[in-house]
Amino acid sequence: MRLKSIKLAGFKSFVDPTTVPFPNNLTAIVGPNGCGKSNVIDAVRWVMGESSARYLRGESMADVIFNGSTTRKPVGQASIELIFDNQDGTLAGEYGRYAEIAVRRQVSREGKSDYYLNGSKCRRKDITDIFLGTGLGPRSYAIIEQGMISRLIEARPEELRNYIEEAAGISRYKERRKETETRLANTRDNLSRLNDIREELARQLAHLQKQADAAEKYRRFKAEERETKAQLFVWRWQAMQGEQQSLEAGIQQRAEALADALQQQQGVEDDLSRARQREEQGHQAVLAAQNELHGARNAVASAEQQIRYQSQRREQMQIQIQSLQQRCLQSGDERSHDEAELDAVLAELEVLQPAMEEMQASHEEAMFRLENGESALQRLQSTLETAQREVAAAGSRVQVGQGRILSLEQGLMRAQEKRARLSQELGQFATDDLLLDVAAQQEELAALDQGLQETQLQLEQLGEDMTRETRRQQDIARSLHVAKTEQQQVQGRLSALSALQQAALGRDNRELNEWLASRGLTEAPRLGEVIRVSAGRESVVERVLGDALSALVVDDLAGINLDGAPHVMLIEKGAGGSGAVDAESLAVFLAESAGVDWLGGVRMADSLAAALTARHQLADGESLVTPEGYWLGRHWLRVFAAKTEDSIITRQQAIEGLQQRLAELEVEISGLQQQQQENAASLQTGEEQRGMLQKQLSRELQERGAQQSRLAGLQARLTQTQLQAQRVREELAELDEQCQLDAESLAESRLTHQEDLEAWQEAQVREAANQEERERLRDQVQQLRQHLQEARAASHRLALELQGHQTREKALRQNLQRTDQHLTQLRSQTRDLEAEFSHLEEPLAELALQLEDLLQNRVAAEEKVQSAETALQEAGRAYREMEQARHRLFSSIEPLRQELETFRLNWQNVASRQEYLMEQIRELGVEPEEIISTLPGDIEENAWQARLEQLALRITRLGAINLAAIEEYQQQAERKGFLDAQSADLEEAVEKLENAIKHIDRETRTLFMDTYNQVNAGLQHLFPKVFGGGEATLNLVGDDTLNSGVTIMARPPGKKNSTIHLLSGGEKALTALSLVFAIFQLNPAPFCLLDEVDAPLDDANVGRFCRLVEEMAQKVQFIYITHNKIAMAMAQQLMGVTMHEPGVSRLVAVDVEQAAALAAA
């Protein structure tokens, strides 16, 4: 593959559409400095996908678009197209079959960049993909610029290593290693955070396990309570079975009596059914007789219709026979006419065929004469074209000569004008004013620096204040978090205690709640909620009051409707509140009696012994209670089980304490939130001030940047002015030399132009003679063509006439054949119809006999219908009599049915009560069948009730229960397991990432050393060629091949070993070029671009450089920019880039071989 040409339009200085052809393997681009030579290299780099403006010697991608000049306006877009010759199939993939590949890129000032591949729009990735493996790319070693040589010369060991790594493609491994190290660090951070979470979660699990154990006991006790209730309810349910069985016996007796009556009714129904069936059979018999009569009538009508059809058929056949006989006569006449016409056509054909043969012979003779004339005309035309080409070539040389003379004359005139303009321009350069402006701008810049420093100090002070406010905000947030956490804990504790208190006070009794709702007492408090007891006496008072603590406190007992009331205790508010309280009674310990007046008869005793002694002095209705839990009267003693501290009264006090704490926390949280808002407002104000200062700082920085830009601009103008003055002086010297050369070229061109003019006139004379002879031959050939055309027309007419007679002959023969077939067919049809007509007489007689039999059958069917209708009337009378008997029996059954329904209603009442018990059982989540098998034989309802009270006491002793602890413990345990698995995965990931880094390091070492050895071998091979001897090697600096630097040791002929930095400038450049070409040979591209790489070389070294390039050009196409004449002489094609028009580059191409041939001629 090779680069065939480049098409430029609007790209940098190439504003006009320009095509740069590369027909040879060595093409030199030459021209003065600043004329746009390097823009050709930039064009190749840009169209191959370069996205950085820095590599295109610009600040933005829009800089590649022609930006205008003194005489031209800027253009809107730039376009570059590379044409590749791919006849050798270097490119693979779907474009490998194309002999020519066109890659184009265009960009507009709006920033839109488009790529095209063989005229089809594509992506940048498609362009880079198509060159994969070819060594081509925007930053490949196929594009070698002078800057690369300079960078290699001045490179430190670690920088030189980067070139080897870039050639080896190690950058992607470095990127992968960097990403892997980042992922490894992130994974280790995640593992550390995960371990902290796991430790905290382990502590939470230990606390949750205790709560879960208590919740599990609570669930077990509640399950036992539900089981005991279920057994009690099932026992009651079974007790109702006797009554239900008695009712079922009465139902059975009445059901049997009703069944006997219904059986009799069934007999009557059966007789009625048989009567209905006989009546139905009568209907069917009548219907069958009617159907038979209808069939007989249809048969008679059918026979009569067939007789009429046979008569009509005989008449139609007579008409058809007559028609066929007439058609036979007509076909015979047509056949005679066709035979006569066929004889006439055959006679005409015998005359036309000989005439046709004579006409064909005449046509062939005319064709032969025309071909001879056209051959002679063609030979003369070839001679004339040769003469015309000679005239055109001579004319072209004349025009070129005229153009060259005109160009040289204009060039001389422009050079003289430019010399005058440059002389005038040189006198206008002055730097004193610019020096004064630079000094003033420097003073303004110093003042801006001072203001900028003050603003930065203010911003730093405000930043410190904001840091303090932020810390204070964080402290408030922590305090608020602590308060909210305690609030949630208090709320949870309060909810749990409230739920236990509601259950202990019976607020979960659905039946009682429904009754209270119907009486408007839903909000009535329980005694346990309103009673107040002195400290230390709660358990004693609660033991005495017992279930009365769940009693409802109401305003007035008399105003309550007690109809349908369930088991409930009511206490009137304020009852017993008046009168003196016995100092020894239990009522003295009530801070608020809430209407409990019977505690006045209960006295406190210090111990059981004291109570036993004093019980004999008790009056009626009085009793003693001890702190140990003994309650006794004169003749009775009751022992209370041990009470936990979470009794109803104690729990109520705890609930009120939690409510108070919750209110305090709400006040505290509100205050903290207020502080947080105030502090946030302060932070917001600080942020606004910092934003203002930052804007001010940004403005000052912008002003400083603008001032620096102005100062840099003035300094650049000063430098540019000095450089322009020097450039103008150099240009004046070059113009003087160029004017002398152009004058010599002008004189030589005028002499050559006169010789070309004389040769052109002689060629025109020869061309005129050939044209006259060509016109004569053209007239002769035209006459032959006309004669041939007339012969063809006559032959065509005769052929058409002959073909028409042959077609007519064929048609007549076909008509005769069809007529014979038609006559045969008509005669056959006539014979068939005559035979069928003779056989129609016999069926008419048979049909008349069948008609008489069918008429007799119809009379018999009418008699059968009359008999069936008489039998049907008799069956209907019997059915009506049976219907009356059934109605009488139905009237006697109805009283029996009503009596049975009464017994069933009674049974349903008992069943409803059982169903109510069943609902209570099912509310407990069990089925009766499951409980019956576990019921003991000697059940006592009171013992079962006492057992339920004991279970309730155990549940109360458990205290506050977090029922969600079990599920929460399971969830946290699952989370702990998940986190443990994640920790194991992260540890495994750390190990994998560490192994991956080791693997990348191994691959990097291997790839680097392979590339290093190949480049080193290439350098050792190329260096002696370039220097004509000596040696050069690459050396590693350091033991670690991953990070060791690279140095170049070079020994030109006659010198000792030394680093590249100790060589002369030319030797440095040649050594660097050897290294670049060694790197290039690792993956040689189809072509190589060199941008003034021979600039630092003297003529001897340029010669060595040229020999190396010529050797490599046997396989690689080279396009190079040079100012050196030796390098120019090496080129097979010279491309001159000029800038006669300021800011606009133009191309002048010279084929060196063709120029040498013209010079030799």
- pLDDT per position as a tens digit, 682-704: 877 877 787 787 677 767 766 76
Q: In the predicted model, is pLDDT for residue 734 greater than 60? A: yes
1000 Cβ contact list (under 8 Å, min separation 6): 173, 176, 177, 180
pLDDT (tens digit per residue) in 602-623: 777 778 788 788 877 777 777 8
pLDDT of residue 739: 77
Question: Residue 1101 annotated as binding?
Answer: no
Are 306 and 846 spatial neighbours (Cβ–Cβ below 8 Å)?
Answer: no
pLDDT of residue 427: 65
Greater pLDDT, 441 or 64? 64
d(CA 867, CA 864): 5
pLDDT bracket for residue 534 (50, 70, 90) = low
d(CA 1146, CA 407): 14
pLDDT bracket for residue 7 (50, 70, 90) = very high
Residue type, 763: A
pLDDT of residue 1050: 86
Number of Cβ within 10 Å of residue 945's Cβ equals 13
Count of positions (residues) in the chain: 1161
pLDDT of residue 180: 84
pLDDT bracket for residue 579 (50, 70, 90) = very low
pLDDT of residue 971: 79
Q: Which two tokens stand for residue 803?
A: 């073909």
Ordered by where they begin, the domains of the chain are 2-180+1005-1014+1068-1160 (3.40.50.300)
pLDDT (tens digit per residue) in 443-469: 787 887 788 778 778 777 877 787 787
Question: Rg of the Cα trace of the chain?
Answer: 63
Question: Residue 34 annotated as binding?
Answer: yes
3-class SS at 57? coil
d(CA 1019, CA 1106): 17
Q: In the predicted model, is pLDDT for residue 1145 greater than 80? A: yes
Against a cut of 0.75, is the pTM above it? no
Lowest mean pLDDT segment, chosen from 237-246, 1017-1026, 1087-1096: 237-246
Q: In the predicted model, is pLDDT for residue 1118 greater than 80? A: yes
- End-to-end CA separation in angstroms for the chain: 35
pLDDT of residue 139: 67
pLDDT (tens digit per residue) in 238-275: 777 777 777 778 778 877 777 777 777 777 777 777 77
Give the closest residue to 798 by CA, choosing from 352, 348, 346. 352
Question: Residue 32 annotated as binding?
Answer: yes
Greater pLDDT, 155 or 910? 155
Average pLDDT over residues 713-723: 67
d(CA 493, CA 505): 18
Q: In the predicted model, is pLDDT for residue 439 greater than 90? A: no
629: left (phi over 0), alpha (psi -120 to 50) or beta: left
Q: Which two tokens stand for residue 806?
A: 């042959």
How buried is residue 894: exposed, middle or buried, by Cβ count under 10 Å (0-12/13-18/19+)? Answer: exposed
Question: Residue 546 annotated as binding?
Answer: no
d(CA 449, CA 325): 134
Question: Residue 39 annotated as binding?
Answer: yes
Q: Annotate 270-284 with DSSP letters as a single string.
A: HHHHHHHHHHHHHHH
Residue type, 104: R
Q: In the predicted model, is pLDDT for residue 1159 greater than 60? A: no
Give the closest residue to 1121 by CA, choosing from 32, 123, 25. 32
3-class SS at 1135? strand
Beta bridge partners of 1135: 29, 1149
Average pLDDT over residues 954-976: 74
pLDDT bracket for residue 1105 (50, 70, 90) = confident
Q: Which two tokens stand for residue 462?
A: 């405000």
For residue 762, CA distances in Å to 287, 386, 401, 613 come to 130, 14, 18, 170
d(CA 1056, CA 1051): 6
Q: In the predicted model, is pLDDT for residue 9 greater than 90? A: yes
What number of helices (H) and strands (E) belong to the chain? 20, 23
Burial 246-255 (b: 16+ CB within 10 A, else e): ebeebbeebe
Greater pLDDT, 525 or 672? 672
81 Cβ contact list (under 8 Å, min separation 6): 6, 7, 47, 102, 103, 104, 105, 116
Average pLDDT over residues 746-754: 76
Pairing of strands 552-554, 570-572: parallel
Pairing of strands 1058-1059, 1045-1051: antiparallel
Give the closest residue to 545 by CA, choosing from 660, 619, 634, 652. 652
d(CA 1155, CA 1135): 13
Give the closest residue to 426 by CA, choosing from 725, 668, 834. 725
pLDDT of residue 581: 46
pLDDT of residue 28: 93
Are 1048 and 156 spatial neighbours (Cβ–Cβ below 8 Å)?
Answer: no
Average pLDDT over residues 775-785: 77
Question: Residue 484 annotated as binding?
Answer: no
pLDDT bracket for residue 166 (50, 70, 90) = confident
Lowest mean pLDDT segment, chosen from 555-564, 661-670, 1017-1026: 555-564
Range among 37-41, 194-198, 261-265, 941-945 rated most confident: 37-41
Average pLDDT over residues 43-48: 88
Q: In the predicted model, is pLDDT for residue 1037 greater than 70? A: yes
Question: Residue 977 annotated as binding?
Answer: no
Give the closest residue to 961 by CA, choosing from 7, 135, 374, 211. 211
pLDDT bracket for residue 315 (50, 70, 90) = confident
Give the closest residue to 570 by CA, choosing from 558, 553, 555, 550. 553
Average pLDDT over residues 1060-1081: 81
Residue type, 85: D
Greater pLDDT, 844 or 1130? 1130
pLDDT of residue 937: 66
d(CA 777, CA 784): 11
Q: In the predicted model, is pLDDT for residue 822 greater than 80? A: no
pLDDT of residue 535: 64
Give the closest residue to 692 by CA, choosing from 459, 469, 466. 459
Residue where the block lists tokens 């705890």: 654
Greater pLDDT, 559 or 145? 145
pLDDT of residue 578: 45
Lowest mean pLDDT segment, chosen from 476-485, 573-582, 719-728, 865-874: 573-582
Q: In the predicted model, is pLDDT for residue 893 greater than 60? A: yes
pLDDT of residue 1122: 92
Q: In the predicted model, is pLDDT for residue 712 greater than 70? A: no
Instruction: Spell out the alpha helix ranges (H) of 429-532.
Output: 432-504, 510-519, 527-530
Q: Across all residues in the chain, what is the average pLDDT?
A: 77
Are 549 and 525 spatial neighbours (Cβ–Cβ below 8 Å)?
Answer: no
